[in-house]
Amino acid sequence: MTSRPASIVAVSLIVAIGCHRRKHPPAPVPFNELPSAAERPSTPVGTQPAPGMPTEATCGVPCCGGSACTVTVDNSGHGGCATDAGSCNACQSGLACLEGTCNALLAPAEVWNLRASYIGGGGVPDMCASSRRDAWACVRRAALDAAPSENWTCLPMSEPCASTNAHGTTAVAVTTHDITVGGLDIEIRDQRPDGPVLAERRGARYTTGILRQGLCSGLKFDKLRDTAGSGISVFAYFLDSP
């Protein structure tokens, strides 16, 4: 993960508009540097409720994303809340209302369902039009003494490919602490849950915390180690309410 000064909480957020199973940012994107419109895929999002995410028609104040969130002086310019718009853009995650301030961090004890969105890298622009749609992203809490086959939950990449908003359905339960302190082990496996490992990363974490804005746009871990010439270097995912 790209580190930033303590005064700027760095997270790698996915584009807040458009279906990112078709394209993905070429490098980790800090929360205040979203890709330009030219980098955004044209496939619409928000047409399906995301698993476990509310779809309120109205949104309280403060809020920081979702089509039900009104643009205010506090959220203007953050993520998909354009200064000249009446409402924020639809969340990539399917969340209609992201309540809270834009600079608030996820609390360590909060529990989430982590669901896959895409795997990227190696110059492959469309995961779902390649053999990568048959890959599995296997995740577990990082453990130095864990056996190689212990406690993995494997998420089929075919699920986000079948979704209109690049959102898988199979989930692994994690806490904010797992993602920011304890870390996650990630393996991208070929064809099946017990298939050959294509790429991996051990102890992946957001060491400076995660902004609530990430619940709208999604998150990703980069710098996966390519173990089989696959070119895969990025695993992107959503955090949904249980």
Tell me the average pLDDT across 75-99: 90
- Dist CA 120 CA 112 (whole Å): 23
Q: Is the pLDDT of residue 96 over 70?
A: yes
pTM of the model: 0.77
Alpha-carbon distance of 104 to 106, in angstroms, equals: 7
How high is the mean pLDDT of the chain?
80
In CATH terms, the fold of domain 111-240 is Immunoglobulin-like (2.60.40)
Instruction: Give the best-scoring range by mean pLDDT among 3-7, 47-51, 97-101, 152-156.
Output: 152-156
Q: What is the mean pLDDT of residues 210-234?
A: 94
Q: Give yes or no for a contact between 201 and 221, defined as CB atoms under 8 angstroms apart.
A: yes
Distance from C-alpha of 75 to C-alpha of 69, rounded to nearest angstrom: 9
Domain ranges, ordered by start, for the chain: 111-240
pLDDT in tens, 198-213: 999 999 999 999 999 9
- Residue in 159, 132, 128, 155 with CA at minimum distance from that of residue 231: 132
Q: For residue 19, what pLDDT is reported?
A: 39
Which residues fall within 8 angstroms of residue 77, CB to CB, at 6 or more apart? 83
